[in-house]
Amino acid sequence: MSASKENLEPLPALQSDTEAERFVDEADLTAYDLSVLQETRFSFSGEAEAVQMHLPRQLLEALEARAKTRGISVEAYVRETLENAVARSET
C-alpha cells in the first residue's frame, strides 16, 4: 500500500552503484517520493561525431548552470537536451 505524497520519504543520497543496488534490493520503494526521478539515457555506442559551435556567453553560462545542478558536464547536458528535443519531435 503506498503512502500519500505528504508522507513519503525523500530518496537518500547514494554514493556508489553498490549502495544503489543494495537500496533498490532492500528498500520498500513505495515509502519514497519517486517523483523527483528523471529519465536517463545512456549511450554505449562507440561511434560519435563531434560538433563545434559558437554560443552567446549568456546561453553557455545558462547551460553550464543547468548541467552543474544535474551533476553532469555541459557537453553531456547539451547532448541530452538535443536528444530530448529530437525524441519529442518524433512523437
Q: How far apart are CA 54 and CA 20, in angstroms?
A: 38
Q: Are 11 and 33 in contact (CB under 8 A)?
A: yes
Q: Which residues, in sequence order, are bridge partners of residue 9?
A: 32
What's the grid cell of residue 38?
Answer: 528523471
Give me the mean pLDDT over the 14-37 stretch. Answer: 91
pLDDT tens across 48-84, in order? 888 999 999 999 999 999 999 998 999 999 998 998 8
Q: The domain 49-91: what is its CATH number?
A: 1.10.1220
32-41 long-range contacts (CB < 8 A, ≥24 apart) are 32/8, 33/5, 33/8, 33/9, 35/5, 36/10, 36/11, 37/11, 41/80, 41/83
Q: Across-strand partners of 32?
A: 9
pLDDT tens sequence across 26-49:
999 999 998 888 777 666 667 788
Residues carrying CATH 1.10.1220, the chain: 49-91
Q: What is the pLDDT, as a whole number, of residue 84? A: 87
